[in-house]
Structure 1
Amino acid sequence: MNPIYDQLKRPLRDLRISVTDRCNFRCSYCMPAEVFGPDFAFLPSDKILSFEEIERLVRIFVSFGVKKIRITGGEPLMRRDLPVLVRMIRAVEGVEDIAMTTNGSLLKKYAKPLKEAGLDRVSISLDSLEDERFQAMNGNRGKVKTVLAGIEAAAEAGLYVKMNMVVQKGKNIEDILPMARYFKEKQHILRFIEYMDVGNSNGWRLDDVFSKKEIIDKVQKFSPVKAVAPNYRGEVASRFRYEDGGGEIGVISSVTDSFCGNCSRARISAEGKLYTCLFATEGTDLRDLLRSDLDDAAVGAKIASVWEQRTDRYSEERTEETVKRRKKAKIEMSHIGG
């Protein structure tokens, strides 16, 4: 570990790496079909970071104090030989936790080899248990039973499982209670996510947001919950435990309850751009640095400079008017994951 960079003034604990911009769904939340149709130009393979380049970045970020690595997409399971990358990351000294965010459609096939390679956790996106609404939100691709089979395979392989449900008025409010019941019984944590204005193509409106308070009020009618303390500083989900001891739920509420002040997450897109915020408009190119003759110390110095100078606090500043006036396009969710 390089002593020059192991203590940043601004904490950096969590690195999220997108390994591909491709996805087999076209979810209305981050990849609306009218934009990401069959003719959409995804990144060619030579523009995407190699496994060796990703491993190198992980080593550099670990020198800053990063302990948690999350693999994202697009859909990360569409990246060939993903277990190989997981094994490479697992071998980096200082990495304590490796997680992956996935839509679960390919998880039945890959859960066991990913666990054997060193993956610890998966967060699986599922917005409804009802096929018609599920397909309406994912571009008419995939079936609920396929995702549920992936969830079971992940649990059987020994992976820790969390579920993510984006809640949007007019789309899936009626699914809040069925989802809560189902995953309470299965003993998997379900995290509700307020519909956010990620990217520029999902047609976001403030009126479509179903708030954290409204979500919790609904769940309370099914089974009372009480707020509990976060597991660690900077945890983005507000935690609530069922009073009958039947597990817990979470709510990620960046629209109604900003958490910018505690953010310690950096994000790297598939082509190697560093983003200091989920709602960023610009990134810093690391790919060219990695492919130059610079050593790790020089690349690390650039990363440290960008991180220390970050001023992002979009969730704190967000209003419908600021969204209208924003001149620069935000990076798309499909490009850097969640």
Structure 2
Amino acid sequence: MIDQFQRNIDYLRISITEECNLRCAYCMPLKWQNQNKREIPDKYLTSREIIRLTGLFETLGIKKIKITGGEPLLRKDVSYIIAGLKSISGIRQVTLTTNGIFLEEKAEALKNAGVHGINVSLDTLDEDFYCKLTGGKGNLNQVLKGIQAARRLQIPLKINAVLLKNEKEHWKNLTELLKEGIPVRFIELMPLGLGRKMEGITGEEALAQLKIMYPDLRETKKALGAGPARYFESAGLKAPVGLIDAVTNKFCTGCNRVRLTSQGILKPCLCYDYGVDLKKLLRQGKTDQEILREIKKAVYEKPRGHCFGQSDNITESKMMWQIGG
């Protein structure tokens, strides 16, 4: 798909649930409960609807899929969804992002479903800080077991860590995983939802800290996955370190993605509340051609860029777990 600014949109991020077993401080309120779960039992897209919509997106040029949440491994049909997406002829890559708590349990099923790679969200290797950051609901040892289980199955892995101000000793200790050959990407805090109430640091500040630890750190043109990360290598590391500095280093001119929320809203840009309700169209019995017309219109009108640097211009009020991480 080509939008109005001649960008080729070939990457779709699909959230399959808003539910999560953790309460990370920058993401989900500690006391949040899904009030609508009993009232609206069918509020999420079904596996059939996800696969049908992805088939339509594929006809328009989507080639790469990222499964997100919430915590996608909470859905019992996650492996079925991945296998279904893999069966669509033009889909070249299906990956998944998880907090890792259930990864040890699910790794073999994900491997059998054909997942191409897994991103594990992990902000520290310090057990006490991990517990505090996840609202007392996380189990760091379980995450580490999941990472090792995926490695034994030779599933490509990346670690995603949010850059929080005054917590550099916690995110810097993740470089130990780089020494084991596991890529780690440091991500600027998104000014959405609870992220607006917390302070992060910029990618450049993080890079300066990393260069103190690894003075020979140099940028490489090698890419890992479909995302916007910049990667850096050092002779002292067995894997590249990545920076996703989407807030301060806008990559909007080359943005290749759109998002589909768990409730079926197609979002062309994370920053704005505009979206198209594809679930409603599906359940109204609209034809493929009618749905395709709405998808093409929404993607064509994708904004030129985000406005995260001008917080007053951000119109999206939902939190990341509602949109899809």
Q: TM-score, normalised by structure 1?
A: 0.89
Q: 2:200 aligns with which of 203, 209, 213?
A: 209
CA distance in 2, matches of 1:10, 1:217: 32
* Residue of structure 1 in register with 2:158 after alignment: 162
Q: State the aligned residue count.
A: 321
Could you list the runs of 5+ residues in structure 1 that have no partner in the other structure?
1-5
The one of 289, 297, 305 equivalent to 1:305 is 297
Match of 1:176 among 146, 151, 171: 171
Paired residues of 1:20 and 1:74 also in contact (CA < 8 A): yes
Conservation of the 8 A alpha-carbon contact between 1:266 and 1:275: yes
- Aligned to 2:242, the other structure's residue is in SS state strand
Residue in 2 that maps onto 1:54: 50
- Which ranges of structure 2 fall in alignment gaps of 5 or more residues? none
Q: Which residue of 2 aligns with 1:118?
A: 114
| Inter-CA distance 106–46: structure 2 relative to 1 (3 Å threshold) | same
Q: Give the C-alpha shift of residue 150 in structure 1.
A: 0.7
Offset at residue 48 of structure 1 (A):
1.0
Displacement of 1:326 in angstroms is 4.0
% identity of equivalent residues: 30
How far is the alpha carbon of 1:160 from its aligned partner?
A: 0.5
Instruction: Give the C-alpha shift of residue 329 in structure 1.
Output: 4.0
CA distance in 1, matches of 2:114, 2:266: 25
- State the AA in 2 paired with 1:192: F
Offset of 1:42 from its aligned partner?
A: 4.7
- How big is the shift at 1:115? 0.8
* 1:82 matches 2:78: yes
Pair 1:13-2:7 in alignment: no
Choose from 138, 143, 146 the match for 2:142: 146
Partner of 2:240 in structure 1?
Answer: 248
Distance in 1 (CA, whole Å) between partners of 2:111 and 2:224 is 24
Is 1:236 the counterpart of 2:228? The answer is: yes
Offset of residue 82 of structure 1: 1.3
CA distance in 1, matches of 2:61, 2:139: 40
**The residue matched to 1:45 in structure 2 has which SS?**
coil
Instruction: Give the conservation status (yes or no) of the 8 Å contact 1:168–1:209.
Output: yes
- Looking at structure 2, the residues matched to 71 and 211 of structure 1 have their Cα atoms a distance apart, in angstroms, of 26
Letter in 2 for 1:54: I
Select the residue among 78, 101, 126 that pairs with 1:105.
101
TM-fit CA distance, 1:312: 5.0
Q: Give TM-score, length-normalised by structure 2.
A: 0.92
Measure, in 2, the Cα distance between the counterparts of 1:305 and 1:39: 32
Q: Secondary structure at the match of 1:231?
A: coil
Partner of 2:308: 318
Q: Residue 30 of structure 1: CA displacement?
A: 1.3
Distance 1:312 1:41 in 2: 35
Match of 1:3 in 2: none
Q: Is the 8 A contact 1:129 1:175 kept in 2?
A: yes
1:332 alignment partner in structure 2: 319
1-structure distance, mates of 2:317, 2:279: 20
> Structure 1: how far apart are the matches of 2:90 and 2:29?
38
Matched, 1:285 2:277: yes
Shift of 1:193: 0.7
RMSD between superposed Cα atoms in Å: 2.1
SS in 2 for 1:46: coil
User: Quick one: distance in 2 between partners of 1:39 and 1:299?
Assistant: 29
Instruction: Give, in whole Å, the separation in 1 of the partners of 2:202 and 2:314.
Output: 27
